[in-house]
Amino acid sequence: MDQKLDGIYQEVLHRNPGEVEFHQAVLEVFETLGPVMAKYPHFADIKIIQRICEPERQIIFRVPWQDDTGEIHINRAFRVEFNSALGPYKGGLRFHPSVYLGIIKFLGFEQVFKNALTGMPIGGGKGGSDFDPKGKSDSEIMRFCQSLMTELYRHLGEHTDVPAGDIGVGGREIGYMFGQYKRITNRYESGILTGKGLEWGGSLVRTEATGYGAVFFTQEMLKARGDSLEDKKVVVSGSGNVAIYAIEKAHELGAIVIACSDSSGIIVHEKGIDLDTVKRIKEVERRRISAYLEFHKDARYVEGGNIWDIPCDVALPCATQNELNGKDARTLVKNGCIAVAEGANMPTTPEGIQVFQDAKLAYGPGKAANAGGVATSALEMQQNASRDSWSFDYTQVRLQDIMINIHKNCFETAEEFGSPGNYVVGANINGFIRVARAMEAMGLI
């Protein structure tokens, strides 16, 4: 790494002790910024990088709530408002027991560059709580969401901070939070949250956007190599929002998805995952993926199995951070995998990324490949601002255009900075320069 950048990295480690995921996200960006520092040395003089690594604001608060038996629970919630140089803070809320400040900061940091890459007027932020939604009743989820919003509402606004969903936060949770915001403020402000229901300010395609976008990005990477998704065997980790719609679009484009998973195990179905079954189990019944076997006797379930051991042409990690390590990457390469696109945020470890890059397979990092979700959130904000609602087809075309453009920008930036075909370099540098230029123009902020 460039010596100046290494010095700044040491400072980041020192100022943010124990936040290993945040360190990892920062390191991944720094490792690609050397050529930018050489081309634009004045960015170092005005300490743009140090400023980008320090969130503008971090909010940590208590969320007390009562379960159905009357017992009181106390969770901790976070909102990290990372950077607003390009627009209001934008980024999801995650409910998962693993959530702590380091996870929210890694996600917020990535979000800053991702949002810049979309070319839309959105800054970066992220939030969440260590609340575990698994096994909770609807009314417990509602009470938790209401309690969280009772504090969070004062920090939101269509021109200030606009959260959305992430792991553990879907349409149901967004509904409960929006309802509480409206109740407290006595204002119907559609623009304060995205991922809303279609009847009350949501956008068509938002639910599908991250998964669809990741597959559109895969299609562009393959096109750049004279190939396509037609008849490719695809493996998708996870079976949540991103995974489900990645499977749907992959099937639509002629690929066959043979496996998906949840944190308990994997389902392998060689004739193709039946998406209606997955949607029923996960979106309606909220059960474990193992229930798939009740509907398809010819599928197999491997408790605790590793999805990356299954031979495939294309791998789409769509579950969580660091779910694909160096060993998994070597297995994928050995089995002939030609493309990996990250629907999840930072799912591949640094060692895994190195393996993919050495093997020169098409590797699309999350910052670029999963940006379709936030881009469609920005489209939802546009519709809310103009009190309009667009058709599914029109919105999907907008999403696809955005993904084609992100691919093009990453591809061309990687070439310009001497790393052709390296989408990590392309995404980091393109996003960084957009944010840095805006910050420079606004003076010392």
Q: Does the protein bind ligand NDP through residue 167 (CB under 6 A)?
A: yes
427 binds ligand NDP (CB under 6 A): no
**Long-range contact list for 329-336, CB < 8 A, 24+ apart?**
329/353, 329/355, 329/356, 330/355, 332/308, 333/359, 333/361, 335/311, 336/311
Question: Binding segment for ligand NDP among 80-88, 137-145, 225-233, 238-246 (CB under 6 A)?
Answer: 238-246
Residues 242-301 that bind ligand NDP (CB under 6 A): 242-243, 262-264
Positions in 367-386 near ligand NDP (CB under 6 A):
370, 373
281 DSSP 8-state letter: I
Q: How far apart are CA 251 and CA 282, in angstroms?
A: 19
Q: Quote the least distance from Cβ 113 to ligand NDP, whole Å.
A: 13
Could you tell me which stretch among 48-56, 183-191, 218-226, 318-326 binds ligand NDP (CB under 6 A)? 318-326
As a whole number of Å, the CA-based R_g of the chain is 21
Of positions 318, 324, 375, 439, contacts ligand NDP by CB under 6 A? 318
Q: Known catalytic residue: 126?
A: yes
Q: Which of 218, 315, 226, 219 is nearest to 266 (CA)?
A: 315
Residue number closest to ligand NDP, CB atom = 240
Query: Any long-range contacts for 99-103 (C-beta under 8 Å, 24+ apart)?
Result: 99/128, 99/129, 99/130, 100/76, 100/130, 101/19, 101/58, 101/60, 102/16, 102/18, 102/19, 102/20, 102/21, 102/22, 103/21, 103/22, 103/128, 103/321
Tell the smallest beta-carbon distance from residue 286 to ligand NDP (Å).
Answer: 9
Q: Which of 90, 105, 114, 126 is catalytic?
A: 126
CB under 6 A: which stretch of 41-49, 241-249, 329-337, 354-362 binds ligand NDP? 241-249
Q: Is 241 in the site for ligand NDP (CB under 6 A)?
A: yes
Q: From CA 44, how far away is CA 13, in angstroms rounded?
A: 19
Q: CB-wise, 49 or 324, nearer to ligand NDP?
A: 324
For residue 169, report the phi and psi dihedrals to the nearest 5 degrees. -130, 110
Q: How far apart are CA 26 and CA 440, in angstroms?
A: 20
* 239 contributes a contact to ligand NDP by CB under 6 A: yes
Q: Least distance (Å) from ligand NDP to the CB of residue 211?
A: 8
Q: Which stretch binds ligand NDP (CB under 6 A): 21-29, 51-59, 266-274, 340-348?
A: 340-348
Q: Which residues are catalytic?
A: 126
* Residues of the shown chain interacting with ligand NDP in the complex, contacts defined by CB under 6 A: 165-168, 210, 238-243, 262-264, 318-320, 343-345, 370, 373
